[in-house]
Structure formats: structure tokens, C-alpha cells
Structure 1
Amino acid sequence: MSAESTTGPRRGSKGHRRKPRDRRPGGKGLKVMAWTAAGVVLLGGTGAGYLYFKLNGNLESVDIDQALGTDRPEKADNGSENILVLGSDTRAGGNEELGGGADDGSARSDTAMIVHVYEGHQKAVVVSIPRDTLIDRPECTDTEGGTHPAASGVMFNSAYSTGGAACAVKTVESITDLRMDHYLEIDFTGFQKLIDDLGGVEVTTTEHIKDPDSHLDLSAGTHRLDGEQALGLVRTRHGVGDGSDLGRIQLQQAFLKALMRQVEEVGVFTDPKKLYDLADSATKAVTTDSGLGSVNALMSFANGMKGIGPSQTHMVTMPVQYDPADLNRVLPLTDKAQLIWDALKNDEPIPKRATEDTAAGEAKGVVNTA
């Protein structure tokens, strides 16, 4: 275990928790959602205008900037961008059939990733934040104007369940001192349908993965996962490694790279029906910040990322160590994490020492990303 200093979260009050407004969440496959949603407008023909307005009508957006006001980190002036990508375990909108979520119907951020797109938009780094990280959550205002008090020593994913997207962004910005330029979120049902419309995603497992809780049973070998299997893979905890959230993050990162490869190979622009099905599913599944809340905005955003593929994407996890008081929780290694945040702020590569000697979840090698 590293001797790095950690944050000192106190087991204090978790504050008043208010169930966020039922919205369609979104967050895995950043590029596929923006690209397919935007691509339909390029199809031409007499139906293009109708399709454009239909897809615009599918989109949900939240005004993060208005909710958070001016008390935020400064926007970077080096041409880079930071996008907070969330996957939520809300049980609304049919997700109750897929498991997860709180019994009271509230939502939590099951997956959280900061996507940093470097200047020139030719490469990116993805930093996963473990949902079980104990942090000090700042006071925040949600998108409906409700104020939620600060809380110490609470799980990271409580930010979303407390105050929705705006509080999740506020918490990430408090931890990192990085401005989140955009926000994307996807829900269980939307993710599952998106994978099915794509025709599945191929992965190679080097170990048998079996988890009754996520309805997943994969022998070692190559598989083309349908939507239900893909969702089980990115959500499984007990089927790999030490059963921690850290092992699940490794699977999520591996799957995201496989998804990016699949999008490159499938050639959706040569198949108008497939393109429309993907765009329709993607725009129904995602919630974005208001800056991405139109097909035009998504098209511009996707075009700016078209040069970034799996080989240009580096993936890491925020440095943490297991909490000695509760091994089901982790504590940030603040000195190492600061190396990551400084690198992103300066639009530089993450130094290797930032991710050495940290808790990893013991799931490496379960999915082959080569």
C-alpha cells in the first residue's frame, strides 16, 4: 500500500438527500452517441428535415451553467476540453427490470469518467472516478434551484443522488479544480438498446466471468456481446477480481475501447437504416448539458472528435487506496491524483508515477483490449 497522503474525510452528516428529477441519464460510448445522432442530418433526401426535428425532440438537456453560476474553475485557454460522462443506475423508465439502483427509485452515478480531449482533438485521456470513493461533497444547487448542503466522508456517487447532474459536476470540479466543459449521461435501457442497434460488440475474455447478480456468464474466449450481456459486463462486480468497484472499472474501460473499435468497423454511414436506428436510440438515451442539447451541437462536437480512436485514447483510474476502516470503500491518494489534475490542466500527458502503487481491483487481464 502506498504511503501517499489521503484526503481526510470525516464520517459526518450525509446531508439532506433529495431525489433528483426523473431524467434520461447518459454516459458510455461518448463518441458513438454524438456521431450517430449527428450523422442522420447528412443523409439528405426529402425526409432529412423531418428526421432532424425528430432527433432534436428526442434530446434531453440540463442547464449546468445556470445551476452552478460563476463559482467554478476557469475555462482552459489551451484548446483542450473536459467532459464529465456519467452512467446512472436510475430505476426509472424501465431500468427497474435491469437491476441496480436504490430500492426507493432514486438514482446514483454507477459510472463516472472525466474525458480530457487534448488540444488539436487528436488524442484523449479518460480518468475513471470510483463510485465508492469517500470525498467531501461541496454545497451545490441543482438544476431546479434546490440547494443541498455540503457533507464530509460520503461516497462520490451520492453527489448525483443528492442533486443530480449539477451536483455531480460541482463535486468533480471541487475534487479536480478542472472546469467541466460538457456533460453526457446514459441510462441502462438506452445503453442496452444502443449496443443491440450497433449489432453487438466483440470482446475477448481471458478468464471465465460469472455473476448471477448481473446475469452474466462468459467462458474464456471471444464473444460478441448483445446489449444485455454488455450491460452485465460493465456492471459486474462479483464476477471478477476482488469484487470491488475498481475491478469493474477495468472492465468498463476495456469495453469502451472495444466499443470504439466496433464503431470504426461497422460503417454505419453506408447503411441509412442502421444509422437512423443508432441515432434514434442515442438521442433518446442521453442527457447532455445545454451546450450539446441539439443535433447541430452534437454534430459539431462529434466532428471535432473524429480523429480520436481507441489507439489515441489513454485510460486510467483516479489513484486511490482501500479505506482501512471499511475495505468496501476507497480513499483518494491526493498527491498522486494531483499529478493527474495538473497534467490535464496543462494539457500534458499523465505521468506514469501518478498511477503506480495504487489500489487496482485485481481484475487486469480479464478482457483483452489488444
Structure 2
Amino acid sequence: MSAESTPEPGIPGETGTEGPRHRAKGRRRRNRGDRRGMKIMAWTAAGIVVLGGTGAGYLYFKLNGNIKSVDIDQALGTDRPTKVDNGSENILVLGSDSRSGSNKKAGGGTDDGSARSDTAMIVHVYEGHKKASVVSIPRDTLVERPECTDADGTVHDAASSVMFNSAYSTGGAACAVKTVESLTGIRMDHYLEVDFSGFEKLIDELGGVEVTTTEDISDSDSHLDLKAGTHTLTGKQALGLVRTRHGVGDGSDLGRIQLQQAFIKALVNQVKDIGLFTSPAKLYDLADTATNAVTTDTGLGTAKKLLSFVNGLKGISSKNMTMVTMPVQYDSADANRVLVDKTKADLVWKALENDRAIPKAATEGTATGQAKGVVTSS
């Protein structure tokens, strides 16, 4: 979301052709006063532009300072999948439930400074940036976590049959990216993390998000209580919705993913309908909140890069988004865990690598939750 460029003002001065030099006395005085007034207004406008430019520079500097970034490339080195040069991009998006600072209240945890990737999605933007596929990775998936080096240079040992979200809690963003790349064989071009408190503020800044629930949802753990019907969710309610597991469906992580995907489609629709550029103040407030809410890779680590990147996605509507869950099967040894269905998952990764649509066969017969259709965009 970047502001549209504003045409540069013209040079203040007098314009128009000269009329007859002999006019009535009153007419001449009035014209001279009008011209003087126009000059004053023109130079005042020019002054505002100059001051505004200075102000814009300050605001841009402030937005730049908001963004936290991680040098993923330096941490992971060259032992990574080769970047595919077909015009597409892959972005790993994580929702972080950090238990420190302002996230303690939102996350409902203890202030121990720990963090987990509560939500993980691979967003594949197709060539031309008009379509996207989103693949959610269940946090409870048992994976082989590779050895990785975090952003501070600490090396973390590989581990077998551990939950996917342990990668982030073990080694932060760099280890999360390393694990995803090992799992998929696809290079992540960018990394974007949103924390709990930032998510709440973003939704509130947007004025809430409208969704329709087809069933009552009540979950004391996520502080959510919604009757069936249409609601404009506040930031707190929206966070409760994307985090709830026990309020609806079978209480599984797979069911929660279905709620998350429905909410994201509603959010995309709402953002496209908001006239952000009609109010500079609103646009700035949103940009300020957004840049405070995210952690990115260094490739998106400035306001200019981040806003340019997001602006390049504005042509994607929810109708052009395919949302699936990584193909998994329930673990027969533990009903609370899932295992990657490698054969079907490979169909997904191959499609993304070649910038093609994900085939329906990739998700047929895989494990799913029971919350599908409970929430829809209004």
C-alpha cells in the first residue's frame, strides 16, 4: 500500500493573456487585488509543498524506523534451493505469538520472552501478480527440522519428528525459513512476520473486518464469543477467531486453519474496498501501524521496499486466491499430530515451483478439520 505520486506544483506566477489596457477604474483595482491574492495563495501553496515535502521525509524516516528486519540470506548462506526466475515470488508469512511485551496480553501467555509461529503460510504470487496460492502449514505437523543458524549466528542442531512450529521457537525466522525450504524444496524469496498485538491494531485501524458465522462460536481460551450471523470484528475478536481451536468444529489445528483462510479472504476483500488514498491521514496511520506490526527479511526491510511490494499485490482479489492446507494425514500414534502426505505434498511444491495452479488431486483424500464453511466473507 503505497501512496500514489502527486504531480509537482507549477511555478507560481501570472498566467493568461492581457486584455485592453483602458478599463473602468473600479475594474482595474479589483483585478489588481485578485492578482495579488492569487500570488499570495500561489506562494503559500508552494510553501506548504516545501514544508510538506520536509514532513513527508520525516514521516518516511519514521516509518523506516518502525520496521524490524532479519538478514535471512546471511544467516542461511548458500545452502538453499535455487531461486526460480519465472516472475513468481514465494513469501513465508508467520503469525507470531510472542509472550513478551505487548503480546503477553494478546497472546494470553507468560512474560518469558518466548515465541512460537502460531500461524504459517506460504504465499505464492504468480507471474504478473494477478493471482496467488496460499498454502497453510499446520503447526502440529511432525517434521524433520534441519540444522540451522539463527540471525545471531548460533547454530541449532537438527531434530527428527518435532512439531513444525518448534523451528521458530528454536532459531527464530532464519530457522523457520530453513525448515520450510527443506520441507518444500522451494526457495522463500521473502519473509514476513506479524505479531499478535500488531494484528489487533491493524484490524482496528482498518475499522474492523466483516464476516458471517453460520454457527455460534464460543471459546474462553481465545476470548471469543460470537452468535451465528454477520459481525464486524474488532481487532481483539479477529485475533480470537484466527486462534480459536475449541470454539467450533473438532477443535483441531486443521479446523483453525479453515477459519484463518476464510478470515484472510474477508480481509483481502475489505482492504480492496477501502478508499485509502482519499484520506492521507488514514493512509499514514495504517502505514504506521503496519510497519510497527511486522518483521521482514532485509529485502523488504525499508518502508519504500515494503510498501512497493505490497502495492504490487493490490491487483489480487480473493477470487484470484487459491487457499489450501499442506497435504497431511493424522498421526496414528497421536491424534493431536499430523504427518506430511509426501506424495500429495510434492504435487503442491512442484506446481508452485513451476508457477502453475495447484491441482485438485493434491488435496483430495487428505486430513481436514471440521470448521469449513463456518465463516464466510460478507
Please, what TM-score do these two structures have when normalized by structure 1?
0.88
Cα distance change on mapping 1:175 and 1:42 into 2, 3 Å: farther
Task: Report the equivalent of 2:73.
Answer: 65
Equivalent pair of 2:104/2:111 in contact (CA under 8 Å): no
Say yes or no: does 1:39 pair with 2:47.
no
Equivalent residues of 2:100, 2:110 under 8 A apart = no
| Native 8 Å contact 1:131 1:157 kept in 2 | yes
Could you tell me which runs of 5 or more consecutive residues in structure 1 were left unpaired when the two chains were aligned.
1-34
What residue is the counterpart of 1:346 in the other structure? 354
Deviation at 1:105, TM superposition (A): 3.3
Which residue is 2:44 aligned to? none
Other-structure match for 1:176: 184
Native 8 Å contact 2:351 2:358 kept in 1: yes
Q: Is residue 212 from structure 1 mapped to residue 176 from structure 2 by the alignment?
A: no
Q: Which amino acid aligns with 2:197?
A: T
For residues 245-301 of structure 1, give each alpha carbon's deviation from its aligned partner in whole angstroms, at most 9, with x where no partner exists: 001100111101111111111111101221111111100110000000011111321
Unaligned runs of at least 5 residues, structure 2: 8-48
Distance 1:363 1:356 in 2: 17
Change (3 A) 1:356 1:322: same
Residue of structure 2 equivalent to 1:242: 250
Match of 1:55 in 2: 63
1:106 equivalenced with 2:129 (yes/no):
no
8 Å CA contact 2:210–2:377 kept in 1: the answer is no
For 2:137 and 2:351, the matched residues in 1 are separated by 16
1:92 and 1:155 mapped to 2: Cα distance?
A: 22
Matched residue SS, 2:192: strand
Residues 277, 42 of structure 1: CA spacing in aligned structure 2 closer, same or farther, 3 A cutoff?
Answer: farther
Q: What is the RMSD of the two structures over their aligned residues, measured on CA atoms?
A: 1.5
SS in 1 for 2:221: helix
Equivalent position to 2:365, from 354, 357, 362: 357
Q: Equivalents in 2 of 1:271, 1:208: separation in Å?
A: 36
Aligned-partner Cα distance in 2 for 1:40–1:196: 24
CA contact (8 A) 2:93 2:123 kept: yes
Query: Match of 2:105, as an amino acid?
Result: E
Q: Secondary structure at the match of 1:214?
A: coil
Amino-acid identity (%)? 74
Aligned to 2:304: 296
* Aligned pair partner of 1:86 in 94, 101, 111: 94
Q: Which residues in structure 2 correspond to 1:1-370 (within 5 Å)?
A: 35=1, 38-39=2-3, 45-46=52-53, 47-101=55-109, 104-369=112-377
Cα gap change, 1:319/1:103 in structure 2, threshold over 3 Å: closer, same or farther? farther
User: Do 2:107 and 2:196's aligned partners in 1 also have CA atoms closer than 8 Å?
Assistant: no
The verdict on how the C-alpha distance between 1:177 and 1:133 changes in structure 2, with shifts beyond 3 A counting, is same
Q: Give the deviation of 1:302 after TM superposition.
A: 2.0
C-alpha change, 1:147 and 1:238, in structure 2 (3 Å) is same
The answer (yes or no) to whether the contact 1:64–1:165 under 8 Å persists in 2 is yes
- Secondary structure, aligned partner of 1:340: helix
User: SS of the counterpart of 1:116?
Assistant: strand
The AA in structure 1 aligned to 2:104 is: E
User: Shift of residue 77 of structure 1?
Assistant: 1.3
Equivalences, count: 334
Secondary structure at the residue paired with 2:119? Answer: strand
Measure the CA separation in 1 of the matches of 2:255 and 2:270.
Answer: 23
**Partner of 2:139: helix, strand, or coil?**
coil
